[in-house]
Amino acid sequence: MTFAVIQMVSQDDVLANLSRARRLLERAANDGARLVVLPENFAAMGRRDLIALGRAEALGQGPILPWLQRTALDLRLWIVAGTLPLPPDDAPEAKPRACSLLFDEHGQRVARYDKLHLFDVEVADNRGSYRESDDFAPGERLVVADTPIGRMGMTVCYDLRFPELYGALRQAGAELISVPAAFTAVTGGAHWQVLTRARAIETQCYLLAAGQGGEHPGPRQTFGHSAIVDPWGRVLAECAQGEAVLLASRDVAEQQAIRQRMPVQTHRRIFSSDVPRPIAVE
């Protein structure tokens, strides 16, 4: 029941990033991990042609998707592939989504989650502002998927600020939640660690938060502090900056005991009249 999160400092060279990711994934596999989460934008950070890169991948003309399939198969790993800028499967000419893919140990894609919440904010850093909606369309559904470690809900980065999403994933049966991310140094320093622990405590899930941690082209500085947080909110593993492989194991009995002692799911009262988004069970 061992899993891992990987922290990277991805640059604008796709092949170099894939080479670094392969070495980190090999370390995780050698240490016994069955499932590994890569960070947001693991294959490229700071490129101006990310949309063209994603279209090439969707047309079968890029290196990233074949690399993911081959690596998952070679290492017998389930891989949460951070994020890629891919158009919808049924509309290759449409505006791309920031999507997180799940590959099984046979190299087969078993789930796709398109980021629901787009990062359109002003930040007091070198860039000043971020407008993901200029390049991406938001996703439209929640995704939970069965894995060897347990039932996993999928989220991405800015999603972390929306507890209603995490509550819906728990309601859909999530036992662990993936959070590939690239938090800015400013917003991460203020809120990342509080948010990761809060989402784990609220959902009583293991939170697998795989971040970017360092300097990137742009220029851009990411906060790092990738972490694995258990259902009681304890940080089981963490790394501040630089590349890292963090490992932990799921204790099923302890998670069940936490949920029994603190039965928050059975105590939930719903006050919102909003119609919930559909849930994809994959």
| Residues noted as catalytic | 40, 115, 157
Tell me the Cα Rg of the chain: 17
Q: Which residues contact 85 (CB under 8 A, 6 or more apart)?
A: 50, 51, 53, 54, 96, 97, 98, 99, 135, 136
Omega before 180 within 30 of 0, i.e. cis: no
Residue pair 82/100 in contact by the 8 Å Cβ criterion: yes
Strands 84-86 and 235-239, by their bridges, are: unpaired
DSSP state of 275: P
Spatial separation of the C-alpha atoms in residues 81 and 258, rounded to whole Å: 30
The single-letter code of the amino acid at 231 is: P
Sign of CA dihedral 36, 239, 114, 199: positive
